Amino acid sequence: MGPEDARYVIIGAGFAGAATACHLAYRGARQVVILEQEAVAGFHSSGRNAGFIRQVLSEPSVADLAAKSAEFIRNPPPGWPVPVSYDAIGCLILGRGAQWEALCRDAELARGRGLDVELWSPEETVAAIPPIEGGSLDGAVWCASDGVIDINALLSGYLRVAQRGGAVIRYGETVREVRIRDGGVQGVATDQGFLEADVVVNAAGPWAAPVGVMAGAAPIAFHPRRRHLFVTPPLDWVKPDWPFCLNVSDEIYFQPNSGGLMLCPCDEEDLPPCDPPTDIRAMELLAERLAAVYPRFPDVSIARYWAGLRTFSDDNRFVIGWDPKVEGFFWVAGLAGHGVTTSAAVGSLAADLLFGADPDPDFSPARFA
Ligand SMILES: Cc1cc2nc3c(=O)[nH]c(=O)nc-3n(C[C@H](O)[C@H](O)[C@H](O)COP(=O)(O)OP(=O)(O)OC[C@H]3O[C@@H](n4cnc5c(N)ncnc54)[C@H](O)[C@@H]3O)c2cc1C
């Protein structure tokens, strides 16, 4: 039996599961079933993020995935079914002190990868976004090709390619058990019955750890952390062509959104896997941070806000590859705050590994065995 004949069950229709299914289809895998406990794809993290494609990152292996993935999203392959808008507003990453030095190193690495990256002085940075005047910074890294995308279009695109290749998506079906026989995957039991499988892909996002436990797989810990996003009503002083502005020293970001701003106080709170409720204290944190970091920033009101979970492994690195304990059990998890940006390359790497490529030591689950 070749990999194209295997029966794959993918748990989760977020970016991890959808992009993996898409790239399995590109490689000719035939018998793929995606099981999603919710009634729609992207109900959790994949539908609640800022949709920003950011390529200047400090972890080189993740930055490689980000650059490859951004290229895919900007120029999808022929026959791509759903146009994905890519608004290349660019990204400014502000910092001071040690963080600024680290940013300069990240910028150097990004240049080595062929990205159009510049170092801006504080004056140039304030000239681009006047309301941040008065903040304390040593400079900013400018990446022109970063941008904001339509996340629903991208997620739908991955799923449509998978369906075109024969994949079946079953919504509203929860995996309760991963059945193992003789140390290998036999199938999954869901709330609707048993499904045989040769390969089970754990793309369960915040639920990756409990799904791993169901399979008796390597004990990999994951930490789902809640983060809030806030959107203002339209504001006449906001320029729609302002870049995404991330301050890594003071932990706050914002970007133009629907005539106003989308803002984030970079809050991080450990929660068990769940549909995270919002917490009004995050709005207080946002107000405090805005006032402290950018003293001349005009007051903003909030039209709507929501919370989502970003899921981290113990070493904050992605977990992509075969489980070292259970044959046929495969991980695509721990995509943290970069799961949209890197999705195309993550799916491609996962599909390569599922088709027999050598493990990628940067992401291999074996590091936790
Ligand atoms: C506030 C916020 C802002 C972010 N901003 C960005 C950004 O700008 N750029 C970026 O690149 N990334 C961003 N991210 C990160 C990005 O959203 C995540 O990395 C990505 O969505 C993770 O995708 P996933 O498929 O692993 O998880 P999920 O989207 O959570 O998908 C997992 C799916 O598995 C399903 N599932 C779980 N258990 C079972 C089961 N037993 N049976 C059936 N189905 C199951 C769940 O229902 C879920 O749909 C942000 C995240 C947050 C929260």
How many of the other CB atoms lie within 10 Å of CB of 108? 13
Residue 303 CA to residue 59 CA, distance in Å, equals: 35
Q: How many domains are contained in the chain?
A: 2
- Residue 75 counted as domain residue: no
Same domain for 294 and 227: yes
Same domain for 230 and 127: yes
Same domain for 108 and 217: no
Same domain for 133 and 227: yes
Same domain for 328 and 198: yes
Same domain for 299 and 157: no
CATH of the domain at 170: 3.50.50.60
Q: Which of 24, 38, 30, 82 is nearest to 170 (CA)?
A: 38
CA distances to 223, 301, 322 from 335, in Å: 11, 31, 16
Residue 344 CA to residue 149 CA, distance in Å, equals: 13
Q: If DSSP codes are grouped into helix, strand and coil, which group holds residue 104? A: helix
- Residue 68 counted as domain residue: no
- Residue 102 counted as domain residue: yes
CA distances to 68, 227, 256, 326 from 353, in Å: 17, 31, 38, 16
Which element (helix H / strand E) includes 190?
A: strand 184-190
CA of 45 to the centre of ligand 1 (A): 3
Same domain for 296 and 245: yes
β-strand partners of 319: 333
Residue 129 has pLDDT above 90, yes or no: yes
Task: Write the residue with the smallest CA distance to atom 41 of ligand 1.
Answer: 175
Same domain for 162 and 302: no
Same domain for 186 and 110: no
Task: Write the residue with the smallest CA distance to atom 22 of ligand 1.
Answer: 339
Same domain for 232 and 139: yes
With the most atoms of ligand 1 within 8 angstroms of its CB, the residue from 20, 40, 44, 45 to mutate is 45
Residue 6 has pLDDT above 90, yes or no: no
List the domain range (segments joined by +) for residue 195: 3-51+151-221+314-368
pLDDT at 330: 98
Does the Cβ of 204 fall within 6 Å of ligand 1? Answer: yes
Residue 160 CA to residue 147 CA, distance in Å, equals: 23
Cβ–Cβ under 8 Å, residues 200 and 330: yes
pLDDT one-digit tens code per residue, 252-301: 999 999 999 999 999 999 999 999 999 999 999 999 999 999 999 999 99
- Residue 364 counted as domain residue: yes
Does the Cβ of 45 fall within 6 Å of ligand 1? Answer: yes
Residue 209 has pLDDT above 80, yes or no: yes
Does the Cβ of 95 fall within 6 Å of ligand 1? Answer: no
Residue 1 has pLDDT above 80, yes or no: no
Question: Counting atoms of ligand 1 from 1, which one is nearest the CA of 334?
Answer: 26
Give the percent of the chain with pLDDT over 90. 98
Residue 138 CA to residue 97 CA, distance in Å, equals: 7
CATH of the domain at 111: 3.30.9.10
Q: What is the pTM of this model?
A: 0.98
pLDDT at 339: 98
Residue 166 CA to residue 112 CA, distance in Å, equals: 39
Does the Cβ of 206 fall within 6 Å of ligand 1? Answer: yes
Q: Mean pLDDT over residues 146-172, rounded?
A: 98
Q: Which of 309, 336, 359 is the last residue of a domain?
A: 309
Same domain for 227 and 216: no
Residue 15 CA to residue 42 CA, distance in Å, equals: 7
